[in-house]
Structure 1
Amino acid sequence: MRWRDLPSLSLLRAFDATARAGSFAEAGRVLNVTHAAVTQAVRALEADLGVQLVRRAGRTVALTGAGEALARSLAEGFGAIAAGVEALRQREARRIVRVTTTTFIAETHVMPRLPEFWARHPGVEVALSPSPARIDLARDGFDMAIRALSDGWEEAPDEEIRPLCRSPVIAVCAPSLLARGLHPQDMPWVMGADRHLELAEVAGTGLDPDRLRRVEVGSPHLEMSACRQGLGAATATEIICRADLEAGRLVRLPLSGLPVVTYALVLPKGPRRPAVTAFADWLATIF
């Protein structure tokens, strides 16, 4: 297709609206412009094509033979465009909102509240992909990420970062472990995939990380479960532990010097589906 050989799309739209409505005035109302603007556009199209397309008939217009032929072609063309756009919108509306986040934020904070989102937005499917890894959102097909960011974070050129909350890292253990009367230095500590980071956090409390007895459970999905069962103390953000602390399944150890984490929503820059915008806006209300 040679676009430069076609008349202006605005002229074709004006003629299509006139052919459908049967008058310049009604076409103007459809296009939200004056009837004079429609008249001028149709006359400009006639001049561009070198053929008369409409004839005035009182307050209405009648199509010439050339006008009828062009009107049929435009109806088919614009109809195909409208059908294609609607099909795209329907397909995108049905596409699942894919979210990557940490195991613990997915399990303790987002999933328990998903029924609230679905009550507001029925039909929007959401898939949470728990992973400790930092994922390239655009490359891996994710719509957004919920990430824990350390102080000094910077926004990447192709990402938009929306801070959700600040949450302190705390040390916790099961009441049964605390009842043993052990000093935190002598307790077993559950360590996971981020063991080096956790050891650095513990070192900030004054404990000697080299003397800690470490318990490894092999999977990040099991770390908090192991902590609840009294297998060891652990460090985690307060937002992750909040429900367990309130329910008495965990207790907070009196250790200071632990960092504060910023939880943030990370979105690829660029156009977004309404479902993605709805879920992103909802997430901002639950942190």
Structure 2
Amino acid sequence: MTTGGLNRLRSILPQLPPSEKKVAQFILEQPEKLLHATASEISQMAGSSSAAVIRLCKSMGVKGFQELKVRVAGDLVKVPETGYRDIESGETLAGITQKTLSNGIQSLTDTAELMDYGQMEAAVEALAGAKTVHCFGIGASSLIAMDAQQKLLRIHKNATAFTDTHLVASLIANAEADDVLLGISFSGETQEVARLLSLAQKRGVKTISLTKYGSSAAASLADINLFTSASSEAPLRSAATASRFAQLFVIDVLFMGVATKEFDQTVQYIDRSREAISFLKESK
């Protein structure tokens, strides 16, 4: 079932120009009216224009008005979502556990709905053919970069994940033609990530961004865009919990995609890695 129409609308709503925002808000408030209306009828009900409806579809990354209707129709028959829930003063550990679980599941579900398989396939191809993959992020996103590096190293793919911006800039300045830079920033506006993507672009290095859904500085500078859900987390989002789950989820999908390209060889690499770690654990 195709879904994710309402999720995409909520994600990009703050970034939309006024004419498109009117249409988006109308659909979010009365999604059922979209199903049996034309683009012209929706524009009239929203107090906007038919052109704004078409532009909105483009902003959402859908192929056209019909795909928007199909996605929203799928959303309307889904089991109602819990949404992101914040902890309260004096919250029990049982309550914290359930809310953290719920928020994590919500983030993964929203991100899966937003996944562009064309862009994901392009990213898989780029990583599979790369000599070295340079993974970079700041703060919590640096942990995602290190996770990506660890996974790639296990399947015999050269990868870096340094947090020193100057060092990464040096790596990009001397990168091979088939190297890849994976820039990770939830907001997409982290200055260091955007600057390194810009440098890589000037050097002719292929770039992949991993940001929240929607337009951003990082996404505009990358050759390939991967997205996580942009849905607002609970206010007490300690260490970016739900967004971190979503970023790790995308990295996992990306890694599995690369692994399946040369499956038999990948299995051998993983087995060797496992054997080496087991050897280190053996008692003398």
Range into which the TM-score falls when normalised by the shorter chain: under 0.3
Higher helix share: 2
Structure index of larger Rg: 1
Higher strand share: 1
